[in-house]
Amino acid sequence: MINQSTTKATVGIIGTGLAGLSCATRLQALGFEVCAYEKSRGPSGRMSTRSGEGWSADHGAQYFTARDPLFIQEINAWIKAGVAAAWHPRLFVYEGDQWRESISNGHRYVGTPAMNSPGKYLAQNLSIQFNHTIDKIFRQNGKWFIHSLETGDIDQAFDYLILAIPAPQATSLVTSTDYSLDGFASGVNMLGCWTVMARFTECPDIPFDAAFINNEIISWISRNNSKPGRASQETWTIHANPQWSQQWIELDKGVASSHILECAKKLGLHCENAEISIHRWRYASGAINSGSGFILNPAMKLGLCGDWLNGGRVEGAWLSGQKLANAINI
Ligand SMILES: Cc1cc2nc3c(=O)[nH]c(=O)nc-3n(C[C@H](O)[C@H](O)[C@H](O)COP(=O)(O)OP(=O)(O)OC[C@H]3O[C@@H](n4cnc5c(N)ncnc54)[C@H](O)[C@@H]3O)c2cc1C
């Protein structure tokens, strides 16, 4: 049932990754008036896909799993809408110079036709301003105001403000004001990730679709076109491990790429004839134990949600957004 006292409250949400989208859709369903701001051209954040003619590569989240009944229900709705499907890769593990088949048999899901499809689906009935990097927030006379790097002051004032962005970005927004929050993001050590995408004209002779790699620069490789609904060109995504990525996050892209491809070659993925692109994720992974899965300061009407407050990963991000919305509605 909608709480009548908050029906007309306005909410500004910064960030339209899965946490922001989840919070926005839930709040809108509860009767709040929601407007979201996103610095990129589209929604979905780290659940992202790069594509070109005949190829695509998920270069952020690779797949998602679901344990919580609410998230399982949400995934079923996505599957019904055609924006997600189960993925059954031939999955290997590399450890101590040995390959073995993975014995992990949990369900894995991906967005279809791309990892950002569930995000686009959630965004379709929301008011979102893209290409808006919010670089200043402030509160006056009980209302929140925000400023966009690209367009200046935003006219609309909000009753509530929600930061659905990674911890370091939220910290810099909040510390540019006097609004500190208890137990806030200072303890979160988010790590980067270097991601290489390799496009082949011929299928490499590799006996698996995806592999977890231990004790190497690379931690994960996967054949993107083994996922349901993908473009057909043979395309592999390679993630460097979080510690190596973080240590070398400022490397020149070409140099980072050559280290990663050298390691790929050692693992049997020869990319000499492939077309290569590389992406630097500054804030890929990391989480704190926040207890509740979100932060809300009811007096200031300021909230935070995101994967980093709820165990990391896609499922945690979605649940964090739902939990924050429900807490605001009390
Ligand atoms: C390389 C990589 C691999 C991963 N693999 C997996 C995996 O296999 N399985 C899994 O479950 N999870 C994986 N993850 C993690 C998963 O992607 C995240 O947990 C989840 O997508 C986080 O969602 P979020 O909404 O919390 O944050 P984000 O997706 O980061 O969303 C934040 C949004 O805020 C926007 N933003 C930031 N600052 C501002 C600002 N100042 N103004 C406006 N907008 C702003 C950003 O552009 C972004 O769209 C991976 C992540 C990476 C990077």
pTM over 0.85: yes
What tens digit of pLDDT does each residue of 169-194 get? Answer: 998 888 766 565 645 666 788 999 99
Cα dihedral 144, 145, 146, 147 in deg (nearest 10):
-160
Q: Check residues 270 and 54 and name the one with the higher pLDDT.
A: 270
228 lines ligand 1 (CB under 6 A): no
Whether residue 131 is found in the same domain as residue 246: no
Whether residue 18 is found in the same domain as residue 140: yes
Whether residue 129 is found in the same domain as residue 268: no
The domain containing residue 86 runs over which residues? 49-116+188-285
- CATH number of the domain within which 24 lies: 3.50.50.60
45 lines ligand 1 (CB under 6 A): yes
Kindly calculate the radius of gyration of the chain based on its CA atoms and give it in whole angstroms: 20
Average pLDDT over residues 98-106: 90
Q: What is the pLDDT of residue 217?
A: 97
What tens digit of pLDDT does each residue of 134-176 get? Answer: 999 999 999 999 999 999 999 999 999 999 999 989 988 887 6
Whether residue 197 is found in the same domain as residue 109: yes
Whether residue 110 is found in the same domain as residue 194: yes
Q: How far apart are the CA of 13 and the centre of ligand 1, in A?
A: 15
Strand-pair partners of 99: 94
Whether residue 196 is found in the same domain as residue 318: no
Whether residue 132 is found in the same domain as residue 274: no
Whether residue 85 is found in the same domain as residue 162: no
Question: Which range among 24-28, 114-118, 175-179, 202-206 shows the weakest confidence by mean pLDDT?
Answer: 175-179
Whether residue 299 is found in the same domain as residue 193: no
Q: Which two tokens stand for residue 35?
A: 């407007």
In whole numbers, what is the pLDDT of the chain averaged over residues? 93
* pLDDT band at 52; cut points 50, 70, 90: confident
Whether residue 174 is found in the same domain as residue 320: yes
Whether residue 197 is found in the same domain as residue 270: yes
What tens digit of pLDDT does each residue of 235-249 get? Answer: 999 999 999 999 999
Q: How far apart are the CA of 156 and the centre of ligand 1, in A?
A: 26
Task: Name the residue of 313, 319, 322, 323 whose CB sits within 8 Å of the most ligand 1 atoms, as the mutation to test its pocket.
Answer: 313
Q: What is the pLDDT of residue 1?
A: 45
What strands, in cross-sheet order, belong to the sheet with 152-153? Answer: 134-140, 143-148, 152-153
What tens digit of pLDDT does each residue of 34-47 get? Answer: 999 999 999 999 99
Cα dihedral 141, 142, 147, 152 in deg (nearest 10):
-40
Domain final residue, candidates 250, 265, 285: 285
Average pLDDT over residues 193-213: 95
Q: What is the pLDDT of residue 184?
A: 61
Average pLDDT over residues 275-296: 93
Please state the atom number of ligand 1 nearest to the C-alpha of residue 62. Answer: 8
Whether residue 27 is found in the same domain as residue 139: yes
- CATH number of the domain within which 78 lies: 3.90.660.10
Alpha-helical regions (H) of 130-200: 167-175
What strands, in cross-sheet order, belong to the sheet with 128-129? Answer: 128-129, 33-37, 10-14, 160-163, 302-304, 295-297
Q: In the chain, how many domains are there?
A: 2
Q: What is the pLDDT of residue 4?
A: 47
**Integer angstrom CA distances of residue 74 from 43, 124, 125, 189:** 18, 16, 16, 29
* pLDDT band at 208; cut points 50, 70, 90: very high
Note whether 148 and 134 are within 8 A (CB): yes
